[in-house]
């Protein structure tokens, strides 16, 4: 009792200066509402631009003959892109690195297409433009040019008939190598996987691309603009970056990643010019999907992947949002070709892509690199 009586004045004073809940409730409610609105706007900004519904509605594909080819569709952006194009009635052909991944991805895609990802699909179905998806696949390991040629032969001989039209070719597969190393063909990993193998696949399918007026979409990255003075490192392609400590290695490997993405943009520019020179109706685009949380970050060191895990739910796109610009360029026939897009609008690209000599040099040297497989 003595202790309680001694503390009573303190509690009395504390209670006298502490506002009642009824007093602070309006402030708490207003503050909560304010933060909810702010966080919602941040998420809306981070999610980027969606493919306009009128563009989706105007897309007319026939799943019996209109084909979309997508590399690296087993997860992330590629998976969502394949799902979109399947729901738009194209017959989708995907590539994966192994038979196991291919089988599981085909099952997952067919299951995903049976759901309704967004309200626009309900509207498309009501318009009678939805059909059951048709999805096929082929194994292709981009770290092996032999595997690329084998896959190209299978695509042309077994998966594409003479009456089919390759309407869309999305070069989506990408790789961020934070360890460094060379492929079995002797080229720096990211240069071959992100660029050179797709270059070979394009050349092997070139006759079909030109005949069918294919829309070729390369999934690049804004990373290629982060090094404004970068050029293609022809003298280092067969031995890659030097060994270094952890922090230096992270910076060097990101630069090599940007280097491979720059090569993609230069290739896109050369393809665009090539199609126009041949009077082909085929078109070429490069896109930046945005900063996307996906398994792609699995190769990052923890110092880079940690921010994605902490802030990703709020400030980074999910894979479905990251696929929007790829789909937009693949299906919208009323946009300028030969450009680099981000959030469904043309964005400034690296200055080197406007240097015709640099563009031609990369193209010619790449042809020399893949000559054995042509």
The string of DSSP codes covering 249-287 is HHHHHHHHHHHHHHHHHHHHHHHHHHHHHTT---EEEEE
Q: What angle do CA 232, 236, 237 make, to 5 degrees?
A: 75
Report the pLDDT value the prediction gives residue 52, as an integer from 0 to 100.
84
Report the pLDDT value the prediction gives residue 46, as an integer from 0 to 100.
58
All residue ranges of the chain with pLDDT < 70 are: 1-23, 25, 28, 34-47, 115-132, 178, 240-249, 292-315
Closest by CA to 362, choosing from 268, 279, 257, is: 268
Q: Is the dihedral of CA 184, 187, 193, 195 positive or negative?
A: negative
Q: What phi, psi does 243 have (nearest 5°)?
A: -65, 145
Q: What are the residue numbers of the active site?
A: 257
pTM for this prediction:
0.83
SS3 200: helix
Report the pLDDT value the prediction gives residue 309, as an integer from 0 to 100.
59
**The tokens 């892109």 sit on which residue?**
81
Q: Is the dihedral of CA 9, 11, 17, 21 positive or negative?
A: negative
End-to-end C-alpha distance for the chain, whole angstroms: 96
Gap between the Cα atoms of 313 and 162, Å rounded: 45
Enumerate residues 6+ apart whose C-beta is below 8 A from 283.
Answer: 213, 214, 215, 216, 272, 275, 337, 338
Q: What phi, psi does 162 have (nearest 5°)?
A: -65, -25
Gap between the Cα atoms of 328 and 345, Å rounded: 9
Report the pLDDT value the prediction gives residue 367, as an integer from 0 to 100.
98
């Amino acid at each position: 009792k003595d202790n309680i009586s001694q503390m009573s004045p303190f509690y009395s004073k504390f209670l006298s200066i502490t506002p009642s809940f009824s007093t602070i409730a309006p402030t708490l409610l207003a503050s909560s509402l304010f933060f909810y609105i702010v966080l919602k706007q941040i998420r809306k900004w981070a999610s980027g631009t969606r493919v306009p519904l009128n563009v989706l509605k105007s897309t007319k594909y026939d799943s019996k003959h209109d084909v979309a080819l997508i590399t690296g569709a087993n997860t992330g952006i590629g998976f969502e892109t394949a799902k979109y194009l399947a729901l738009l009635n194209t017959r989708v052909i995907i590539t994966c690195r192994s038979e196991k991944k291919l089988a599981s991805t085909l099952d997952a895609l067919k299951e995903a297409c049976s759901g309704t990802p967004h309200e626009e699909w309900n509207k498309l179905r009501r318009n009678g433009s939805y059909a059951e998806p048709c999805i096929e696949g082929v194994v292709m390991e981009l770290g092996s040019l032999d595997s690329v040629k084998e896959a190209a032969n299978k695509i042309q001989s077994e998966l594409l008939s003479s009456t089919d039209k390759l309407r869309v070719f999305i070069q989506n597969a990408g790789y961020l190598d934070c360890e460094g190393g060379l492929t079995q063909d002797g080229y720096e990993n990211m240069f071959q996987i992100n660029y050179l193998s797709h270059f070979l696949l394009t050349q092997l399918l070139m006759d079909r691309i030109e005949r069918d007026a294919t829309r070729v979409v390369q999934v690049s990255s804004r990373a290629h603009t982060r090094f404004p003075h970068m050029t293609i490192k022809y003298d280092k392609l067969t031995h890659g970056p030097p060994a270094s400590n952890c922090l230096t290695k992270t910076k060097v490997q990101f630069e090599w990643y940007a280097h491979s993405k720059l090569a993609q943009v230069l290739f896109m520019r050369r393809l665009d010019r090539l199609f126009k020179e041949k009077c082909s109706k085929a078109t070429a685009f490069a896109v930046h999907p945005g900063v996307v949380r996906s398994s792609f970050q699995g190769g990052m060191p923890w110092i880079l992947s940690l921010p994605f895990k902490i802030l990703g739910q709020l400030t980074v796109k999910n894979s479905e949002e990251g696929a929007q610009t790829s789909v937009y360029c693949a299906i919208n026939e009323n946009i300028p070709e030969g450009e680099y897009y981000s959030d469904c609008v043309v964005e400034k690209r690296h200055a080197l892509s406007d240097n015709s000599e640099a563009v031609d040099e990369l193209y010619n040297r790449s042809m020399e690199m893949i000559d054995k497989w042509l």
